[in-house]
Structure 1
Amino acid sequence: MTPIRAAVPTTEEARALLVGLRRAVDGERDAIAADLADDEPDAALLDLVAAPFASVADVDERLAKTESYLRERGDRRAVFLTVYSRMTATVRTAIDDGAFVDPEWTAAYLVAFAERYRRALVAFERRAFGSLPRPWLLAFAAAARGETLVAQDALLGINAHIAYDLTYALGDVGIDPDRGAKLEDHDRINAVLARLVQTAQDALVDAYGALGIAGIDAAFDPLDDRLALLGLTATREFAWRNAVLRADLPARLAERYVDWRTETVATGAAAVVLAPEFDAEAGRRLRDAETEGDAAGAFREAFGRLT
């Protein structure tokens, strides 16, 4: 892939860029800071995630502990971790089973990917909003405010981690030498992500069904359609194309363009997840179901059953 081809946005990326450019986040930083001014950082949570990840096993174990900790406290940031901790465990097993061309690179990639999430979580918990990427600011703030559906919490985290973090995780571990072999392993990880994200979507439908909402899958069409500004396959290709640009173009030019494009596209996708065009009746049914039952718990149970 030539740098020129990698730099040209697809139609879906262009749409997300337009939405992202219209999304004003600087003012939101101040509003979020004001909303959380009286909330003390959670020392126990920071103890779990303050230290950098040291290995695949460390990532697997601490993500699972963090998911349990947040879930037990009713913290909606656990919703994304339900998916992500399972993805990590699945990739860890695949590494142990020899499923990758370069298992050492894949292990480093998984750790670098998790590090991006860990840093974002720590920055938010310490209220260091100025250092937080915009897609994560929107995702974590939505969970903290409790104004979103479980479905939105899951998709916001997936978007921030895949559409934003994946680009930088690839940059952290490098795509050379043996770029072709690394692309194969990247694609294998992507296959795991694709399966688990689809399972997460199925689990969301099952979760609302368990709360007494039948046929609710149609209500998710606006989320599915609007998150498809990139689509998961295209988003993962987007990350690889960004990595190619960073590797092949002069550093200063590549970094400025990739940074702008990655954050703007991921912010645009987050914006549309936050503002789906729900049918009024469907939206009411979803919110009523979450008010009356444990939607996050039902989602976790359904996700565990389906995986």
Structure 2
Amino acid sequence: MRQRSRGSLRVSIDYRTLDDVVEGFAGLEQGFRARHDRRSMFLTLYGVVSAEMGERIASGAFADPAWVQRYAVAFANLYRVALEAYDAGRVAQVPRAWRLCFDAARAGTCTVLQDVLLGVNAHVNNDLAFALDRVTVGPDRESRRHDHNAVNNVLSGVTERATRQLASLYAPGIATMDEVAGDFDEVVSRASLGGARDAAWESACALADARGPVERGLAAARVSTRAAVLARLLLAPLRRPDLVAVCRRLEEEANWLTLLDRLKTP
């Protein structure tokens, strides 16, 4: 039996089941929050998603639950490996999108939403295609594509819960943003995340269909480069510290009317 330390799970140990993932991420989130490490923010979101994935698999929401579980665990392990390499100083082994994400969290200059989205970008736009490749997309691609798409229902189903959790732990203003935006932000989120997941599936197919190591290397490089470019776009607002400062105040203040009154006061 593998040994777990109380409240945490060493990132050097492979996750083998979705229960490992949920427990491991909860321990990491707890540890990061205790030392005010902003990497906890992405893990708060991921923890909500992973727990829901476990419930959906158990409820029979997927045609091939064993494959979906392997897929979810492989996906989580890619994050774990990137985190382990970064913290061990093996930066060259860390995918560029994750390096940018972790560097930003260490610098502490981003908004909460930026930190969360940098993690989502690295995980979905970089890791997902490689996770799918590890568990294979074929030979029954149509069935596996259906299960891959069904994960979108899990993600849309936890949006409100994840938003409330992020607002409660890190930024009360996020709940206000969600209320002001109504359904618009959820529609945009579903569309952008769905598009990223579609691209990951196509990239996984390109990796599987590659005719030799050169073609496969090019397909892998396209995935990593795209994720890194998107990370840099998410970081672009840092060139305007005044704008970031306002956004951070909006995140921190649950009552925007109070904040506006403060801003108007000389």
Query: Which TM-score band applies after superposition, normalised by the shorter structure?
Result: 0.7 to 0.9
Aligned residue number for residue 224 of structure 2: 263
Per-residue deviation, 1:259: 1.5
Structure 2 SS opposite 1:177 = coil
Aligned residue number for residue 53 of structure 1: 15
Aligned residue number for residue 172 of structure 2: 210
Matched residue pairs, number?
244
Say if 1:257 and 1:207 are closer, same or farther in 2 by CA, change over 3 A.
same
Between the two proteins, what is the percent identity of the paired residues? 35
The 2-side partners of 1:218 and 1:281 are apart by 23
Structure 2 SS opposite 1:48 = coil
Q: Residue 99 in 1 paired to residue 61 in 2?
A: yes
Aligned residue number for residue 192 of structure 2: 231
User: Within 5 A, what are the aligned runs for 1:139-288?
Assistant: 139-196=101-158, 200=162, 210=172, 231-276=192-237, 283-288=244-249
- Give the partner amino acid of 2:147: D
Q: Deviations over 1:6-30 (max 9, x none)?
A: xxxxxxxxxxxxxxxxxxxxxxxxx
User: Within 5 A, what are the aligned runs for 1:55-74?
Assistant: 55-74=17-36
Per-residue deviation, 1:85: 1.0
The 1-side partners of 2:173 and 2:59 are apart by 38
Contact conserved, 1:209 with 1:215, CA < 8 A, in 2?
A: no
Unmatched runs of 5 consecutive residues or more in structure 2: 255-266
Correspondence for 1:137 among 79, 83, 99:
99
**Greater length-normalized contact order (CA 8 Å, ≥ 6 residues apart):** 1
Q: Deviations over 1:133-163 (max 9, x none)?
A: 0000000110011111111100000000001
Unmatched runs of 5 consecutive residues or more in structure 1: 1-42, 296-307
- Give the partner amino acid of 2:115: D
RMSD of Structure 2 on Structure 1 (CA): 3.5
The 2-side partners of 1:208 and 1:123 are apart by 26
Say if 1:73 and 1:187 are closer, same or farther in 2 by CA, change over 3 A.
same
Worse overlay, 206-215 or 273-282 = 206-215
Q: Residue 86 in 1 paired to residue 51 in 2?
A: no
Contact conserved, 1:87 with 1:196, CA < 8 A, in 2?
A: yes
Correspondence for 1:116 among 78, 82, 99:
78
- TM-score, normalised via structure 1 length: 0.69
Q: Deviations over 1:71-129 (max 9, x none)?
A: 12211000000010111110011111111100110110011000100001101110110
Contact conserved, 1:100 with 1:185, CA < 8 A, in 2?
A: yes
The 2-side partners of 1:209 and 1:77 are apart by 14
The 2-side partners of 1:79 and 1:100 are apart by 28
- Give the partner amino acid of 2:207: R
Contact conserved, 1:208 with 1:286, CA < 8 A, in 2?
A: no
Per-residue deviation, 1:252: 1.8
- Give the partner amino acid of 1:92: G
Per-residue deviation, 1:131: 0.4
The 1-side partners of 2:170 and 2:34 are apart by 20
